[in-house]
Structures are given as C-alpha cells and as structure tokens.
Structure 1
Amino acid sequence: MDFDLDSLSADTRNLLYELGLHNDSHLLNVKSSDFNSSDKKDLLDLICKQKHKYEENITGLGDGKYCNASSDFIMCWPPTPVNTTTYLKCFSEFLGYKYDDTENASRECLWNGTWSKTDYSFCKDITENSTSEDVITTTTIYFVGYTLSLVALSIAIGIFIYFKDLRCLRNTIHTNLMFAYILVYALWILTLILERSFENDMVACVFLVTLLHYFHLTTFFWMFVEGLYLYILVVETLTRENFKLRIYITVGWGLPLVFIFIWAITKGFIETDAWLYTNCPWMQPHTVDWVFQGPITIVLALNSFFLIAIMWVLITKLRSANTLETQQYMKAAKALLVLKPLLGVTYVITIAGPTTGPTANVFAYARAVLLSLQGFTVALFYCFLNTEVQNTLKHHFQNWRTNKSLGPRRMRTGSRSKDWSPRSRTESIRLTEWTVVSADEAAGIHLLNTPEMCNGKKCNGNLVE
C-alpha cells in the first residue's frame, strides 16, 4: 500500500513534523506503535523518507544506485549507496530497558539496492552483564530440578502400571497427574533448547508454545481432580458413585484443551508486535494470557476450599471419638498438610514477587526450586512414601528372593505374585501401624477399599462388581 502525504491524517502529519524537529530514531518506533500493523511498514518507510528527503539531493545519491531511506521498525536508516554499511548510534532505552548508546547498530546496502538485516549485536542491555550469571544459575536450577522430577515421575508411573494390585481409581488419577508433569517438563526443556531457532520458524514457535501452555494447564486441572476426588471421598460421600474415571479424564485433559484453543485463536488475531522480539513472540507475556491464567486462579481457589472442607471434617471426627479410626484420621490430617503443595496452593506464592533489587534473585531461586521439584514431590508422596506401594514392593522383592533361592520348582507359585494384595485380611491389620502417611491416604484407610474407589474393578484384592 502506497501513502501520499495529503492522504495522511492530522496525527500522522503532526508526527512527521515532530520527527523533522527531532533527530531521534527511537521516537519513530514509539510513536508509530499506535498504527495498524498492516500499514505500519509502509507508514514508517514514508516517515523515514520524509525525514531524509533532502539528503539525496545534498549528497548526490540521485545520480547513482542506492538504497532508499527505510525503517526496520526500530530505527530510521538514511539513503545509502550500494555496497556500503551505515552506522547509527544505539538507542539509550527501548521497551523499558536501558541500552549502551556508546555503541552502534549497522545495516548494509546491498549491491542490488536493497537493505540487509540490521545488526543490533552491539546494542547491549546495560543490565545484561550483571544479570547473565543469575539467569544461568536460575536456568541450571530448573534443568536439575526438572531432570530429577522426570526420573522420579517415570519410575512412579512404571510402578503403578506394572503392578496389577496397585491399579485402581485413585492411582489412575495419580498416574495422569504424573504424566502431565512429564509432558510439561519435557516440552519446557525442548522449547528452551529450540528457542533461538524460532526466529525464522513461526510455525514451530506457535506449535511448541501452545503445547507447553496446554500441558502446563493440565497439571493444574489434574491437581484440581486430586482435590475434587478427596473432597467427594471425605465430604460428599453420597455422590461418589456418580463420579467415574471418564469424568475425571474429561476435567483433567478436556477442559484445558478448550481454554488453550480459545487462547490460541485470540492470540493469533491480536497484534503481538512480533517484530520487536528476536525469538518466539508467543513466549512473551500478554494480557490475552488471562484466558488460561484465569482458570488457574479459579482452580487454586477451589483446591483451597477443598482443603479447608476436608480438614474441617477430619477435625470434627477426631473430636467426636478416640478410636483406631480417629487415629487414622489424625495421621490423614497430618498428611493433608503435605497435600497442600500437591493441590497447587504453593503456586500462590510464586505468582507475584519482586523484579528488581537483591530480593529478586532470591525469589527467582526459590521459585525455580519449588516449581522444578513439584513433580518430584508428587512422585515422592503419591508413590515412594505410599505405604501400599512400599508393602507391594517388599512382597515382590521377598517373593523374588524366595523363587531365586528355591529354583525353578517354585516359579509357578511366584508367577501369580503380581496379583498379590497388601490389603488382604491379615495384611490390613499390620498396615494400620503406619510409619509414613502418604497424601493420597488422607481420606482414611477404611475408605480406600470401597467399590467407589476401585471404579468397579479389582483393587487391592477386593473384587467389586
């Protein structure tokens, strides 16, 4: 689209006049940011030409081949002869960051009269050197934490899948939560590695960032499913039969897909000023991100409500009697204190924090530790410290040692060990003496073997409808 000076609005003509009074290339970018993106390039080129309209005649460029005055969206470059490199002083401030204006940016006019890509490599953020070490440290913490979480989650999922006697509704929910964490951690690492290559591949940028946000959102919704499951088990006991696995799967995987789809469509239609960023622009924060950040906030609030309601019911039962059951509730109540970070409440303290000053680095380190080890914490309390899992592993290990010592004659007996249940009549008496209480047993051990828990399948040796 070609512009004519007479067709420009009064605001644009005022901008041209102001640019004629100020030799400030950064002013060009800031003030032109209010115009529509479809016309921005042509408009900025026209403004740039207007700014340098007298230079062609003065320098005699009109007699030879040269590159026209042009804007690269950040700086206005003057008309330049072919095969010549032009230098402009770096801007002192851009997008709220201060830069070293003693250095220069450069742009070459090619042999065919077209401009090359601007080289801003010498325009350094003056805070970059002081913060680069902190950024490297924080990134290292994330990598170490995510790697540890990935290993722990993979082992935990393998345990739940391999041993048949651990297959029931509550462990299926745990497995889905762990799998969501594995996906988001793996995608985070992949996105960070490929971030520098996103500059010329917008499709890969959009695809990976959308997947990253989706799986990140699923972790919150599966945390919500964990809280909802315990709430129904302890508080709304009459409605537990109406909640089957398919409902939990719909909530955990389906609802996040709806929100991310809306976010992606909206993000695609909103001007994101992609030209401002060296890497993937979809990774930059935007107000449209509240399309999925809003549901996260609601999920955290609901999980806090579930936690309070569950604690109230347990405390009430503890006051009413002092039986073996109430002692188990006491241990379950203690486990709920561990359950808080598993339900996502810990994320509340990482939503906001200082961005400048010495406390900002401390906060960044703490956030990196908490978020990167979230998956490890889930695997630890839902699997490794789970009494049922521990007894299952002990039994299979003892059975393996017995079969190994007795030889092939006992292999037939040992082949049925996968269906062994640590919750048989004799074992259930011994299991009441817990040494470690896991978070998923917070609802009370006597509730865990009910048909509602097993979703109509064999669970822990109890065959239900």
Structure 2
Amino acid sequence: MNNSTNNNNCPTEKPTNPGWCPNHWDQLMCWKTSKPDVTVFQPCFTELNGLRYDTSQNASRYCKADGVWNSFSDYMKCKALETNEMLPDESILYTSYFYYGGYTISLVALVVAVSIFVYFKDLRCLRNTIHTNLMCSYILSDFTWILTSTLQEWLAVNNNGCLLLTFFLRYFTLTNFFWMFVEGLYLYILVVETFTRENIKLRVYMFIGWGIPLVIIIIWGFANMITSFESEKKEEGTCTWMSTVHEWIYQGPAILVLVVNLIFLSKIMWVLITKLRSANSAETQQYRKASKALLVLIPLLGVTYILTMVGPTEPGTFSNYYSYGRATLLSMQGFMVAIFYCFVNSEVKNTFKHHLVRWNDARNLRTSGSRRFTYSKDWSPNTRSDSVRWSMTRRLPSQV
C-alpha cells in the first residue's frame, strides 16, 4: 500500500501535466506536483517528536528528469530549536572573531613587510624575492578567506560565485606550502648542494611556487565538476565544493612538500652543525638565521595544517578551546612569516639603519647650510661662530 494514501493532505493523483512528479508523502512532509529536473524547496516542519524545529530553514527533494521523485528528501538543514543552543552559537561566533582578528593582523604585517622589500633597492636579491613571493601568497590567501567568509555571512552568494571563491581560496592556501618549500629548497641548495646553486633560476622557483599549485587545483576542480555532473542530487543555494571527497588531491601534495621540507631542514642543520660550526663569515651567519626561521615556520605550518584535518567531534569546553587555538594558529601564520623574514631580519635592520644615518646626514647638511647663509632681521649672522667673526671684523679698523 502506498504511504501517500495515508495522509489526507497529500492525496495521490496523477499530475495534469504528463512527465511531472506527482504528489508524494514521505512520512514527514507532502511534496506537491512539480515539473521534472528541478529541486523543490519548502519550509521545515514545525514540530517532530515533541521538539520544535526552525521553520526559517528549508527541506528539499529532487524531481528527476523522468518525472520520478528522488529516493530521499534532504532534511539536513532542519534543526531542532533547543534551549541550550546558545552556547554552540557563541563558540562559533568567538571562533570567527579569532579568525578575523588574526587574518587582519597578518594582512597588515605582511603588507608592511612586502612594502619594505619593494621600496628599498638594497634588499633586492633572489633570497628576498623568494621571501616577498611567500608573503604575497599569504596576503592573497588571507584576503580571500576574509572575502569568502564575509560574502557567505552577509551576502547571498550564488553557487557559481561560491565555487570561484573556493577555487581561489584552495589555490592560494596551497601556494603557501609550495613557497615555503621553495624557501627550504633554496637554502638547501646554498648550504648542502652548493655546486647546483647557479642551475636554478628565479623562473623555476616561480613555477614551483605559483604554477604547480595551479595545476593541482585545476585537477581538483575538474574532479569536483565531474562528481557534480554525475550526482543525481542537485541543490541550489549551497556551495558544493566547500567539502568534497576530492580534498586529498590538494591535501596530499601539501603534506608531501612539508615532509620534503623537513628532510631539507634536517640536512641543513646537520651541515651547519658539523661542517660550518667554526665558520663565522657573514654568509654563514645568514644561513644560520635563515635555518632558524625555517626551524620555526615549517613545524608551525605543518602542525596547524594537521589541526585542520583532525580535532574533537563532540561539542564541549575542550572542543571550543581547541577551535580557538586552531583559529589563532591558522590566522597568525602570515604574521609569523612577516616577523621572521622581515622585522627581525638583520639585513632589513641594517638597511634601515643605513638609510636612517644617510637621512640624518642629509638633514644636518641642509640645516648647517641654511644656518651658514641666513641672517636675522637686523642682518646679523645667526650662528655663534659667525657672530664672533662679525664682531671681530667690525673692531679691526680701530685696532690698526
């Protein structure tokens, strides 16, 4: 016996338009006659098993192209209105504050750091160009995260717009890992494989940092498109690429470059400890400082990335604090990169000191020049030495 006959409000009747889906009762709601190949939306039920539900959300069911309803209805957005629902909402709100605050601080620090490297010509070299590209990748990923989150929260973004934002967010995030890999590769070549340092040019590093992630994300995008076309269920108003079964396509390469960077770092530290321990040249000191930066940033990047894939599943106090810590570490990565590669960089500090000394010297020269040839209102010299000379010349005729 058809269950649809058990509900008086949803009588079984043939649709007036042939090929349309007929009325259907799914034990919870009645799905009215619909034209084929569309997703039907209607408000969630008001009450179920003694619990009131949020009717501002919608349930959906897909009417296939052959005029037959899909085998299930989607009630994922129908949530019960519980009395203790305020705590999870507050924790999510606080987590978003941590993200927004951290990404904003990182953006400001990164923009200042990149401006320093671009403005001062003394800092233009291959090493600092790699630093600048790394910081630019963080600027783009941080800005894209803020833009995506803001548009999803405050504006109604269609599925195509969300897919585009998700594509760029995944791409710029992956460039962070590959430019950090370029940092490790460059330092490895300088310290360990010194005979190959002239074989790798800037364009090769640019391809590794920007090109390879683009190829990986394009493959990931095509895989998602194929999955979307093959799926019978077509939902509107949802961003179908935010969480897919193809996440491993870009997560795998990210983990791989982290592992390779750890290998590079271990070999670099071994050479610095064993072979260059007694060397105190400026170049060796620069290698040591760059290695210390990698020693902090690579584990930081790896640990925070692992935190995005694992974590507590049950809500509670520990889960909330875990989310706060993860948000802080993820959003402050760009700030840490700017600190280690720019603000505490001895080369940057020496450049600042050099330009400050030059600026002071130039100002003193302008000041002394203006004081030497300016006079007061009564046409007497302003400086004390000139006043002495002026008075002496006035007394000379009487002394003869």
**What is the TM-score of this pair, normalised by structure 1?**
0.63
Contact 1:91/1:101 (8 A) holds in 2:
yes
User: Does the C-alpha gap of structure 1 residues 160 and 200 become closer, same or farther in structure 2, counting only changes over 3 Å?
Assistant: closer
Contact 1:198/1:205 (8 A) holds in 2:
no
Residue in 1 that maps onto 2:395: none
Contact 1:138/1:365 (8 A) holds in 2:
yes
Amino acid at match of 1:369: T
Equivalent residue in structure 2 for 1:69, among 23, 28, 31: 23
Map of 1:210-225 to 2, 5 A cutoff?
A: 210-225=167-182
Contact 1:101/1:123 (8 A) holds in 2:
no
User: Does the C-alpha gap of structure 1 residues 87 and 376 become closer, same or farther in structure 2, counting only changes over 3 Å?
Assistant: closer
CA distance in 2, matches of 1:385, 1:201: 44
Equivalent residue in structure 2 for 1:302, among 242, 260, 267: 260
Instruction: Show CA shifts across 1:6-34 (max 9, x none).
Output: xxxxxxxxxxx6x73xxxxxxxxxxxxxx
Map of 1:15-34 to 2, 5 A cutoff?
A: 20=3
User: Does the C-alpha gap of structure 1 residues 57 and 348 become closer, same or farther in structure 2, counting only changes over 3 Å?
Assistant: closer
Contact 1:87/1:104 (8 A) holds in 2:
yes
Residue in 2 that maps onto 1:396: 355
Q: How big is the shift at 1:186?
A: 0.6
CA distance in 1, matches of 2:9, 2:239: 37
**What is the TM-score of this pair, normalised by structure 2?**
0.72
Contact 1:146/1:372 (8 A) holds in 2:
yes
Say what the alpha-carbon RMSD is for the aligned residues. 3.8
Instruction: Show CA shifts across 1:306-332 (max 9, x none).
Output: 1111111112125xx63534x985885
CA distance in 2, matches of 1:375, 1:273: 41
Residue in 2 that maps onto 1:55: 8
Equivalent residue in structure 2 for 1:254, among 211, 233, 250: 211
Residue in 1 that maps onto 2:103: 146
User: Does the C-alpha gap of structure 1 residues 69 and 310 become closer, same or farther in structure 2, counting only changes over 3 Å?
Assistant: same
Q: How big is the shift at 1:277?
A: 8.0
Contact 2:187/2:287 (8 A) holds in 1:
no
CA distance in 2, matches of 1:86, 1:393: 63
Equivalent residue in structure 1 for 2:52, among 79, 97, 102: 102
Q: Quick check: 1:322 aligned with 2:278?
A: yes
User: Does the C-alpha gap of structure 1 residues 353 and 328 become closer, same or farther in structure 2, counting only changes over 3 Å?
Assistant: farther
Contact 1:145/1:372 (8 A) holds in 2:
yes
Equivalent residue in structure 2 for 1:242, among 176, 199, 210: 199
User: Does the C-alpha gap of structure 1 residues 238 and 58 become closer, same or farther in structure 2, counting only changes over 3 Å?
Assistant: closer
> Which is greater in Rg?
2
Residue in 2 that maps onto 1:203: 160
CA distance in 2, matches of 1:399, 1:406: 11
Count of residues in Structure 1 that have an aligned counterpart in Structure 2: 334
- Deviates further, 200-209 or 132-141: 200-209
Q: How big is the shift at 1:196?
A: 4.4
Q: How big is the shift at 1:70?
A: 5.0
User: Does the C-alpha gap of structure 1 residues 58 and 218 become closer, same or farther in structure 2, counting only changes over 3 Å?
Assistant: closer
User: Does the C-alpha gap of structure 1 residues 369 and 56 become closer, same or farther in structure 2, counting only changes over 3 Å?
Assistant: closer
User: Does the C-alpha gap of structure 1 residues 79 and 300 become closer, same or farther in structure 2, counting only changes over 3 Å?
Assistant: closer
Q: Quick check: 1:291 aligned with 2:239?
A: no
Q: How big is the shift at 1:279?
A: 3.8
State the identity as a percent. 43
Q: How big is the shift at 1:124?
A: 3.9
User: Does the C-alpha gap of structure 1 residues 161 and 273 become closer, same or farther in structure 2, counting only changes over 3 Å?
Assistant: farther
Contact 1:56/1:79 (8 A) holds in 2:
no
Residue in 1 that maps onto 2:127: 170
Q: How big is the shift at 1:208?
A: 1.0
Contact 1:303/1:345 (8 A) holds in 2:
no
CA distance in 2, matches of 1:125, 1:79: 26
Amino acid at match of 2:334: G
Contact 1:199/1:279 (8 A) holds in 2:
no
Q: How big is the shift at 1:335?
A: 5.7
CA distance in 2, matches of 1:276, 1:328: 59
CA distance in 2, matches of 1:286, 1:247: 32
User: Does the C-alpha gap of structure 1 residues 336 and 405 become closer, same or farther in structure 2, counting only changes over 3 Å?
Assistant: same
Amino acid at match of 1:101: L
Map of 1:6-21 to 2, 5 A cutoff?
A: 20=3
CA distance in 2, matches of 1:332, 1:158: 24
Residue in 2 that maps onto 1:458: none
CA distance in 2, matches of 1:190, 1:273: 31
